[in-house]
A and B are shown apart, each in its own frame.
Chain A
Amino acid sequence: MTLTLKISALTKTFAGVKALDAVSLDIAPGQRVALLGHNGAGKSTMMKIILGLIPYDSGTVEVCGGRPGAPAARAQVAYLPENAAFHPALTGQEQIAHYLSLRGESPKLAMDLLERVGLHAAARRRIGTYSKGMRQRVGLAQALIGKPRLLVLDEPTSGLDPVSRRDFYALLDGLAAEGASILLSSHALTEVEARTDRILILSGGRMVAMGTLADLRRTAALPVAMQVTARNGYISELAAALPGAIRVEGDLRLTCAQDEKLPILARIAGFGDKVADIEVVPPSLEDIYSHFSRRDGQ
């Protein structure tokens, strides 16, 4: 199986500052990869290099088997820019028809595409009258043109409401199932959870983490929080057995490292009926994300 995207040791410097520092990444057909990072972490720079819009300093980048930005690569790659913008004097339908022609497809398909992103009702209105979310949908519609092999989506869900966001990911699932590779960027880990196969975190131009959500959880090894509710009268007995636990309004709260989690649970289970309830809170996605992206003292 040939890789859709192959990047190794990619480095890009802007005026002496390293925007990307030896970043490597492979994406196979059908894979969905999320690129996370703060503003200025290098997400957009990396995407623009993959699209062939800006040159890079060193390393290798291979897009669909060719040079980024080469006509063959451009024919197979779709892009959704951050804050997608279009000419305000054209209607959604005219704009998509234009993009279809540029990709050598029939402009008559415009309505179908707009229907797929739920914009058919406004298709004959000028884009100047659209809201940010509607413009984002026009951007998404143009990214669907002509079965691209790689979709590069720069913060695709910004400006979308939660329902549209879910529709959007459903659309991506369908594309990935048909073999398209997807690289999307986002600010928030919560947003890409369970919707991507792999997560990649950039910080200050360096790749600080890569893997599935479970991998990241394991590597971060953040403490687990527990909340134990004792039956009436037994709280002191429980507290004595769980060093480090704090009493909060009749409950016991404690945190422990990942590898201590099971022994502690076993000990609590040993109390049998004396325990009314127990809740285990794994580290949140936000916690994991900040753990990685703050490693460089940011």
Chain B
Amino acid sequence: MGETTTFFRAAARRDPRRRATAESAWVRRLLIVGALSFLAVFLFVPLVSVFAEALSKGLGYYLHTFRNPRTLSAIILTFIVAGVSVPLNCVFGVAAAWAIAKFDFRGKNILVTLIDLPFSVSPVIAGLIYVLLFGAPGPFWNWLSDHDLKIIFAMPGIVLATTFVTFPFVARELIPLMQAQGRTEEEAARVLGASGWQTFWRVTLPNIKWGLLYGVILCNARAMGEFGAVSVVSGHISGGAGTLGTITIPLRIEVLYNEYNTTGAFALASLLAFLGLVTLALKTWIERKKTAALHAAEMDLKA
């Protein structure tokens, strides 16, 4: 049934004589032109203009931006923050997906909804909650200042805020994937004598690797680009030679922009835009791998 439907669907779309379920040529052209014009104004023009603005004063000036010690410390800080937040959310995502996909328990739907919660919370509020918790009026403030520890207006706060806004990415990617794959393969491995860890490393991980990579890539793009939440907890302390400060790449872009160094701001922005394009390319590539893996799982289930 599945194969014949696909065949007829393909035939219906390719065969120009089938007028009854296809639009006339001019309607088709009108719709394509309409959709592409909208995307051109809202996507292509902004994307092209990032790189055009970045290079508007020539390649020399472009590279000059990246030699500034404050910009360099912002880049290093961003990599450190993403380097902590992404693995944290990655471990969490795998653990949550394992619990949710491989076992039955009450309240599972509520748990899945709660995991998605950070997506419906404003980044500004994501920053605010940590200021309330660890900032001057908060419950931990006295203890923290007694021990000379800083969370807000320091790197730990930036890591926490970034972790919050990127919290669901890996989990929400893995949960449906592992649910679709079921638990039979792992159960077989156990029955054949594999330990729990062996089962995970040899059976589960190869099955979920594309989904995991997909989640990690999206998580990383958001972690490196987060602005609102980080802005609230940052304290905007400039880094420089020897010190890291609390300015990440997006915050540094804002500083340059507000200093009327528009070209510098766009040069640094082009770095993030390039990261975005790489993310999209990897995402498209992995999506194909992922669908193939899911298809294989479905075929196994039928067999």
Are both chains from one complex?
Answer: no
